[in-house]
Amino acid sequence: MNKAFVKETDAPDDDDEAIVAPTLPAGTKNYMTPAGYAQLDAEFNQLWKVERPTLVETISWAASNGDRSENGDYIYGKKRLREVDRRIRFLSKRLEHAEVVNPATREKTDQVFFGATVTVADNDGTESTYAIVGLDEADAGRGRIAWISPMARALLKAREGDTVNVQTPEGRREVEIVDVRYQAID
């Protein structure tokens, strides 16, 4: 059947990818650093105040041009608007439940908690540094690990000088905590 005779709906297309966002364990808080919160808040404001109004204006203009079934601006605009609205809902929930913890203001301690920057050494002496951050801020390439990751869970509550076991995809790994410090994370 020709698309011109099919009723258009706002239902997601079959080719829409499901957004798979990391989820928090039930009953836990959404811990974030101030920089992580600011980044999500800036994205939310950009989508809500700039991108969404522009899309709505484009869709209105495209709808006024007539036949919507073959109107690329209208079809793409509606699809993009669904994506933007989905992301706005996700961000508003994350920001609403955020618990901002500033590691720079934490009292000095050698114990690992959220926001700590931890240097660990493998058995062969190789050192790695990790900052324990919120779920939405994690970036392993930059040494930022989510506080619910296996490495962070192994490190949490341990102290400088302790040796902890971490389960990795390659198997069990033993690391020694060399340094624990609390500083602003950009």
Examine the pLDDT at 70 and tell me if it is beyond 70: yes
Q: Per the domain annotation, does 13 fall within a domain? A: no
Examine the pLDDT at 84 and tell me if it is beyond 80: yes
Query: Pick from 100, 135, 154: which residue ends a domain?
Result: 100
42 and 78 inside one domain: yes
Q: Which two tokens stand for residue 152?
A: 């962070």
Nearest to 18 by CA among 94, 82, 97, 78: 82
Q: What is the pTM of this model?
A: 0.80
pLDDT digits (tens, 9 = 90+) for 123-137: 888 999 999 999 999
Provide the number of structural domains found in the chain.
2
Query: CATH code at 142?
Result: 3.10.50.30
Q: Per the domain annotation, does 174 fall within a domain? A: yes
pLDDT digits (tens, 9 = 90+) for 103-152: 999 888 899 999 999 999 998 889 999 999 999 999 989 999 999 999 99
62 and 94 inside one domain: yes
Examine the pLDDT at 6 and tell me if it is beyond 60: no
DSSP calls for the chain: --GGGSPP-SSPPTTPPPP----PPTT--EEE-HHHHHHHHHHHHHIIIIIHHHHHHHHHHHHTTS--TT-HHHHHHHHHHHHHHHHHHHHHHHHHTEEE--GGGSPP-SB--TTEEEEEEETT--EEEEEEE-GGG-BGGGTEEETTSHHHHHHTT-BTT-EEEEEETTEEEEEEEEEEEE----
pLDDT at residue number 103:
93
pLDDT at residue number 15:
44
Nearest to 53 by CA among 79, 76, 85: 85
In this prediction, residues 42-71 reach a mean pLDDT of 92
Residue range(s) defining the domain that contains residue 78: 29-100
Query: CATH code at 68?
Result: 1.10.287.180
111 and 52 inside one domain: no
Question: 180 with 111: CB under 8 angstroms?
Answer: yes
Query: Pick from 100, 123, 151: which residue ends a domain?
Result: 100
The mean pLDDT of the chain is 87
